[in-house]
Amino acid sequence: MNFSPPKWGASHTEERNLFKGLPKHLIGRRETQKALKELYHYQFILCSVKTGEIHISLNPEKKKEIEQFLFNELF
């Protein structure tokens, strides 16, 4: 959700762009890959293949759950 504007639904970005905002010591780590798989599993993010690359977006149908998850993690 740190993208401006957030990438909900039809607004999407390449999957590799997710990692640009992470600290360098987390990029490519097993824990990071596991977290990405969990986001797919909970359907918080959707993927599609565009221009030969995997593009992802936040699932607008799960907006309430995503916001609740983030609120619980922050507080």
Q: Is residue 4 a part of any domain in this protein?
A: no
Q: Is residue 56 a part of any domain in this protein?
A: yes
Boundaries of domain holding 41: 13-74
pLDDT of residue 51: 82
Average pLDDT over residues 41-54: 89
CB 40 within 8 A of CB 34: no
The pTM of this model reads 0.72
Q: Is residue 25 a part of any domain in this protein?
A: yes
> Which position has the higher pLDDT, 73 or 46?
46
Domain count, the chain: 1
Q: Is residue 65 a part of any domain in this protein?
A: yes
Q: How many CB atoms lie within 10 A of CB 12?
A: 20
Sequence-ordered list of residues with C-beta below 8 angstroms from that of 18, at least 6 positions apart, any chain: 36, 56
